[in-house]
Amino acid sequence: MAELHFFTGTMDSGKSTLALQTNHNHAARGRAGRIFTTHDRAGEAVLSSRLGLTHEALEVDQEFDFWKYVVTSLTHGARIDYLICDEAQFYTPAQVDQLAKVVDELQIDVFAFGILTDFRSSLFPGSARLVELADRFNVLQVEALCWCGKRATHNARTEDGVMVTEGEVVVVGDVETLASPGAGTAVPGAENPEVAYEVLCRQHHRRRLTADRAKAVSLAPEPLPFG
C-alpha cells in the first residue's frame, strides 16, 4: 500500500540529502519517480544539498496542482511510482491534501521533506497539514547543533547580523553563504538587508543569542563551530 511519508528536522539536518538518497534508492530498483521542490537555495527547479549534491526538479508555485499533474502525466502514458517533495513546508495545505489524494486514489508513494517551524517558532501551514495527514512521521536523527553544542531545535533568521522574529515567512537564505541568493552585497539599513539563517537551541533562540552575538558580548569567547 502506498503511503505519505513526512521527514522533518531543523535546517542543516540533512533533509535534502535524504531526499536525494531516497530518490536514488528507488530509481536504482527500477521505480519511476518525480522530484519537486520550491524556493531551493540553488535556484528554481533544482533540489540541492549543502553537501554539494543537486538534481533537476519541478518547481512548485502556489498554483501548482499535484493531483492534476499526476493524473495528466498518467493519462499521457507516463509511469509514476513515487514523488519526492522537498521544501514541503512551503507547500499550501491544499497542495498537501492533493498529495494525500495521490497516495490514496492512485497508490503512489509520496516522500515529503521539510522544516516544521519558521524563524518565529510557528508551524509552517504546509508542515502542519503534513503532520495531520502523514501515514509516517519521521524526525531526522542527524542532529543539528547550536553554537553552544546543545541540540538545535529552532531556526533563527538574522538581517544584517541581527536576529529578527518578524517579517516575511519566505525569504531564501543559507547558513553557509549567509546571504540570500541574488541579494548582492548588503548594506546595513538598506532596503534589502543581508539575510542569513542559523540553528539554535531553545534557550538561545529565546534570548536571541546567535553565535556572533555571543562572541561579541564575550559569553562565549570562541563559540563552538557548530550549526
87 is an active site residue = yes
Residue from 87, 159, 194, 198 carrying the catalytic annotation = 87
**Strand runs labelled E in 19-81:** 33-37, 46-48, 54-56, 58-59
CB 139 within 8 A of CB 13: no
CA–CA gap between residue 199 and residue 221 (Å, rounded): 19
Q: Burial code of 147-186, b = ≥16 C-beta within 10 A, e = fewer?
A: bbebebbbbbbbbeeebbeeeeeebbbbbeebbbeebeeb
- For residue 82, the surrounding DSSP H or E stretch is strand 82-85
**DSSP code for 16:** H
Distances (CA, A) of 35 to 24, 137, 154, 193, 212: 11, 20, 27, 32, 36
CA–CA gap between residue 71 and residue 174 (Å, rounded): 35
The pairing of strands 82-85 and 33-37 is parallel
Catalytic site positions = 87
